[in-house]
Amino acid sequence: MATLHLVSHSPFTDSRLASCLRLLDSDDALLLMGDAVYALCNGTSFREELESLAASISVFALTEDLQARDLTQTLPIRVKSIGYPEFVKLSCHYLRINSWL
Amino acid sequence: MARSMLIITRHSPWSGTSAREALDVVLAGGAFELPLGLLFLDDGVFQLISPQHPSSIQQKDLTANLQALSLFGIDELYASNRSLAERGIAADSLSLPVKIMQDDELTALIKRYDHVITI
Amino acid sequence: MKFAIALFSPPHSPSSRRALRFSEALLSGGHDIIRIFFYQDGVYNASANIVMSQDECDLTNEWREFIKQHRLDGVVCIAAALRRGILDEQEVQRHNRPTSTPNLSEGWSLSGLGQFHEAAQQADRLICFGGH
């Protein structure tokens, strides 16, 4: 009964990611896109928090947003970079999609 | 069977049209007697304060629209205990009969609905 | 799978482009789009009056072409649209705005939030795009 959460705001100026992380269930997934991928910057508390999430929670980031921000080389091992075809597959796999608008 | 929807409203009432337009989604679904839930999260809990005086900034009274929820048969109303506590809002001062939930209860709540939307 | 899509942000926001690329990938993957519903600032995507520089991504045009090409049901929330100055011929007359020109793009319709719920009822998945 798992949920795919979509977050697109920078965690440094906005509380959406923080709120989302508190409500994640152990089998949920998180897809970071837009400025939310800044959460993956080296040496930040958000990156640490994402790295320490339960292993059962899948974390994804949209490839085009990582590329645009030059973040592809420093991706944590547990974060998978995906394109739109995989985004579609995830939307089918998870039972509901919670967009943090 | 009708598909259920949880609407999570996380904007304060007078910061623009977000709170009103989130409530409009709920009321529109209520008009079709759909199984809907409404969760007040983050700044959304500021919608629950009573009384408020929006006429001083020439706004329509959103809190009056909130009272229409029960007329539309929407009684699955929830608020985040953490969001209320962070903002110093007392649980017994709210304008709607919301169920106040801890984070782990909210996690379980989301999974009870077919669709979820956080506005 | 059957998808209902809702877009909450304007054409100059990254999420409008993201919603379009996702919708294209949905159709490429053999899925169905029941309806694309435009709400809040998303109604600006249906404006025929947005003019972009030649070297900029023209999303209103791309949305228009996408909806036309695949004969999709593009519905714009009427209350949100009126509030933001997106009108069709009927609304120009109804609200007695003789100096206004209808600016709802061809191929889209203005309707109520009931259309959002109706699409969500028929869909296996509801996906919303908005924010940044």
Provide ipTM, 2 decimals: 0.96
pLDDT above 80 (res A1)? no
Best A17, A98, A99, A100 residue to mutate vs chain B (most B CBs within 10 Å): A98
- For chain B, domains (ranges, CATH) are 5-118 (3.40.1260.10)
> Could you tell me the pTM of the whole model?
0.96
Candidate from B2, B28, B115 with C-beta closest to C126: B115
Mean pLDDT (whole number) for A41-47:
97
Judged by DSSP in three states, A80 sits in: strand
Given an 8 Å threshold on Cβ–Cβ distance, is C116 in contact with B28?
Answer: yes
Burial of A53: CB neighbours in 10 Å, binned 0-12, 13-18, 19+: middle
CATH of the domain at C74: 3.40.1260.10
Contacts of A10 in chain C (CB under 8 A): 132
Tokens standing for residue B70: 């029960």
Per-residue pLDDT, B24: 94
Number of domains observed in the structure of chain C: 1
pLDDT level of residue B6 (50, 70, 90 thresholds): very high
Return the HEC string of B85-96. HHCCCCHHHECC
Would you place residue C132 in the very low, low, confident or very high pLDDT band (cuts 50, 70, 90)?
Answer: confident
* Average pLDDT over every residue of A75-89: 97
pLDDT tens, position by position, C87-130: 999 999 999 998 889 999 988 999 999 999 999 999 999 999 99
B2, pLDDT greater than 90:
yes
- The arrangement of strands across the sheet holding A3-7 comes to A79-82, A58-62, A29-32, A3-7, A96-100, B115-118, B5-9, B36-40, B76-80, B99-101
Flag if C25 and A87 touch (Cβ within 8 Å).
yes
pLDDT tens digits, one per residue of C6-55: 999 999 999 999 999 999 999 999 999 999 999 999 999 999 999 999 99
Chains near A, with 3+ CB pairs < 8 A? Answer: B, C
Whether chain C has a CB inside 8 Å of the CB on A93: the answer is no
Per the structure, the complete domain to which residue C48 belongs is given by 2-129
* Domains within chain A, CATH numbers bracketed: 3-100 (3.40.1260.10)
Does any CB of chain B come closer than 8 Å to the CB of residue A53?
no
pLDDT higher than 90, residue B61 = no
What mean pLDDT value characterizes chain B? 94
Chain C residue numbers with beta carbons less than 8 Å from the beta carbon of B17 are 40, 80, 83
> Rounded CA gap, B30 and B45, in Å?
21
Give the residue among A78, A41, A81, A39 at the shortest CA–CA distance from A61: A81
Kindly report, residue by residue over B11-36, the tens digit of the pLDDT.
999 988 889 989 999 999 999 999 99
pLDDT band at B70 (very low <50, low <70, confident <90, very high): very high
A86: part of which helix (H) or strand (E)?
helix A84-93
Q: Which residue has the tokens 């947003």?
A: A65
DSSP output for C12-60: TSHHHHHHHHHHHHHHHTT-EEEEEEE-GGGGGGGBTT----TTS--HH
- Search chain C and give the residue with CA nearest B24: C113
* Structure confidence by residue, pLDDT tens digits, A54-64: 999 999 999 99
Residue B62 confidence (pLDDT): 87
Three-state DSSP state, B6: strand
Q: C132 or A5: whose pLDDT is higher?
A: A5
